Amino acid sequence: MKEIVVISGKGGTGKTSLSASFAYLAGAESLICDCDVDAANMHLLLDADFDKREDFMSGEIAKIDADLCSNCGACEAACRFDAIHRIEDQYEVDPISCEGCWYCSRVCPSHAITMETQKAGDLFVSHIKNNAQMVHAKLGFGAENSGKLVAKVKQTARNITKDSAIKYIITDGSPGIGCPVISSLSGADLVVLVTEATISGIHDLKRVHKLIKTFNLQAVCIINKYDLNLEMTQEIEAFLHDEDIKLIAKLPYDETFTKALSLAQPIVEYDKDCALSHLVKQAWETIKENILIKKGI
């Protein structure tokens, strides 16, 4: 089993549309992971049925027992996050501000404060169109630890593929270059970098590439909307050449992409024979070949 992780450094480059297309093309020989747990939306393109759900528990929040509380105010004085206030003669915790550090509960003389583990989100395993499975998640409002939830998504995917005929895990990575994206990249056999021919596209590509280098991962690249700015495309190509990253597709600015999206379909399902679909299919074949090359080393 091989893991392919699609990332872009910034949102809106077409990462999800492409990952969903690859998953659609690979069918039941693949399993797909949506690691954008903060704003997951790949399920829309692949008709996920949300078959199995489990709670993701993470982080703690202080809770004050009004019956035990003597209103001494030690908790408010200790809290550095401005999360405890006296409201109508009773101290209360603002759950949005509480960081779960335990300081208040340690200094409370009447033992009125307990720490409660929070439900931080939901984890789903779904069946999708094309008879494949998908692992995805939804982080709760204001919750932290999206890196941990991403790790859980990936682990769940690996457990499913164990002793199965599944050949590829295709991961739609988290945006950015922070902790969640590092979690997304763990165990990757090949990273697919998606960028666009814009000033911020190349800027973010370079940033995310630094990360790939740190982890010594093999990467290929797809330039989206390459004809929006040919000079920028040339600049990106020069960068890829210098860094020895294979360019596997140049996709034009094409509203067929958006039309497919509006019908909640990957481009390769919406119009199998359009020019864009051919390019995406070719890219998927090249990805498979590149993984096989690595296997031979």
Partner 1 sequence: MKKNNLKITIASGKGGTGKTTVSTNLSSYLASNNHAVVLTDLDVEEPNSALFIDAKLKETTICNKMVPKWERADCTLCGKCAKICNFNAIVALPSEVLVFPELCHSCYACSELCPTNSLPMNPVRIGEIKTFEATDFHFVEGRLDLGQEMAVPLISQTIDYVDENFKDTIKIYDAPPGTSCPVIEASRESDFVILITESTPFGLNDLRLAVETMRVLKQNFGVIINRYGIGNNDVEAYCQQEGIPIITKIKNDKALATLYSKGALIYPKIEHFKNSLDDIATFIGAIK
Output the CA–CA distances (angstroms, integers) from residue 269 to 20, 256, 266, in the order listed: 10, 12, 5
146 binds partner 1 (CB under 8 A): yes
Nearer Cβ to partner 1 (176/245) = 176
Here the tokens at position 201 are 């596209």
Tell me: does residue 177 bind partner 1 (CB under 8 A). Answer: yes
Closer of 114 and 161 to partner 1 (Cβ): 114
Q: Is residue 220 within a helix (H) or strand (E), and if so which, with residue range?
A: strand 219-224
Our finding on whether 264 is near partner 1 (CB under 8 A) is yes
* Separation of alpha carbons 156 and 158, rounded Å: 5
Q: 252, 286, 293: which is closest to 25 by C-alpha?
A: 286
Pick the piece of the chain touching partner 1 (CB under 8 A) from 26-34, 150-158, 202-210, 215-223. Answer: 202-210
Q: Is 239 in the site for partner 1 (CB under 8 A)?
A: no
- Determine the interface stretch with partner 1 among 170-178, 242-250, 270-278, 280-288 (rule: CB under 8 A): 170-178
Residues in the interface with partner 1 (CB under 8 A) total 54
From the list 71, 164, 234, 262, which residue makes contact with partner 1 (rule: CB under 8 A)?
A: 262
Provide the token pair at 287: 């990805």
Q: Which two tokens stand for residue 94?
A: 């603002």
Q: Based on the shown chain and the rule CB under 8 A, indicate whether residue 122 belongs to the binding site for partner 1.
A: no
User: Cα separation of 62 and 93, whole Å?
Assistant: 7
Count CB neighbours of 141 within 10 A: 9
Q: Please identify, using beta-carbon distances, which residue of 263 and 297 lies nearer to partner 1.
A: 263
By CB under 8 A, tell whether 266 contacts partner 1: no
Shortest reach from residue 294's CB to partner 1, in Å: 28
Instruction: Give the three-class secondary structure for 79.
Output: coil
Nearer to partner 1 (CB atom), residue 210 or residue 278: 210
Other residues' Cβ atoms within 10 Å of the Cβ of residue 131: 9
Give 41 or 282: the residue with its C-beta nearer to partner 1.
41
Structure tokens, 286: 């090249």
**Token pair recorded at residue 167:** 């050949």
Close Cβ partners of 296 (under 8 Å, ≥ 6 residues apart): none
Question: Which residues 56-85 are close enough to bind partner 1 by CB under 8 A?
Answer: 60, 78, 80-81
Nearest of 202, 63, 53 to residue 137 by alpha carbon: 53
- What stretches of 64-122 show up as alpha helix (H) in DSSP? 74-78, 103-107
- Asked if residue 173 binds partner 1 (CB under 8 A), the reply is no
Contact stretch for partner 1 (CB under 8 A) within 10-18, 25-33, 47-55, 153-161: 10-18
Chosen residue from 85, 259, 278, 294 binding partner 1 by CB under 8 A? 259
Which candidate, 205, 189, 208, places its Cα nearest to that of 197? 205
Q: How far apart are CA 129 and CA 133, in angstroms?
A: 9
Task: Choose, by CB under 8 A, the member of 89, 131, 141, 273 that binds partner 1.
Answer: 141
- Can residue 229 be called a binding residue for partner 1 (CB under 8 A)? yes
Closest approach of partner 1 to the CB of residue 125, in Å:
19
The residues binding partner 1 (CB under 8 A) are 9-13, 16, 38-39, 41, 44, 60, 78, 80-81, 96, 99-103, 106-107, 139, 141-144, 146, 175-179, 196-201, 203-204, 207, 210, 225, 228-229, 232, 253, 255, 258-259, 261-262, 264
